[in-house]
Amino acid sequence: MTAYDDSNIFARILRGEIPCERLYEDEFALAFPDIRPQAPRHVLVIPKGKYVSITDFGAKATAEEITGFFRAVSLVAEKVGVAGSGYRMIANAGPDSRQEVPHFHVHILGGRNLGTLLVTP
Ligand code: 5GP
């Protein structure tokens, strides 16, 4: 796995070098809208720690970080109004997934019926 790169765009957002609308923030996570939304609600949730992908996060994060992060994901889904109607949570990891930003993040997509396809044919 590639080493964490401090210059990635989400690291810069975490450091406040690039603005974002901070929808939710606590000691473990930050949530903000995706700049290119693919659903009426499209929010990114990122951990505060330096992890390249969910593979890296699952392998190296502490139990407290993992619990805190996924509690934040649940809170964000409530806060942006999709917990009741439903949503899809996606985490891309590595080249075949076309992960663009090498700082672990999950996408929360909702606000409409998302259909059954998980991948582009
Ligand atoms: P990935 O393909 O890595 O899972 O998704 C990265 C996501 O980050 C993309 O959906 C892209 O639109 C979003 N993104 C890339 N740069 C920025 C940015 O500067 N600000 C925000 N809010 N989202 C970004």
- Digitized pLDDT (tens) for each residue of the chain, 121 residues in all: 789 999 999 999 999 999 999 999 999 999 999 999 999 999 999 999 999 999 999 999 999 999 999 999 999 999 999 999 999 999 999 999 999 999 999 999 999 999 999 888 8
101 CB near ligand 1 (under 6 Å): yes
Written as six digits, the tokens of 68 are 């805190």
Residue 121 inside a domain? The answer is no
- Give, in order, the Cα–Cα distances in Å from 94 to each of 2, 4, 43, 99: 10, 13, 20, 6
Is 3 part of a structural domain of the chain?
A: no
| Whether 13 contacts 32, CB under 8 Å | yes
* CATH classification at residue 17: 3.30.428.10
Q: Is the CB of 78 under 6 A from ligand 1?
A: no
Look at the chain and report how many structural domains it folds into. 1
Cα radius of gyration rounded to whole Å, the chain: 14
Q: Which atom of ligand 1 is nearest to the CA of 105?
A: 4
> Is residue 64 domain-resident?
yes
**Predicted TM-score of the model (pTM):** 0.98
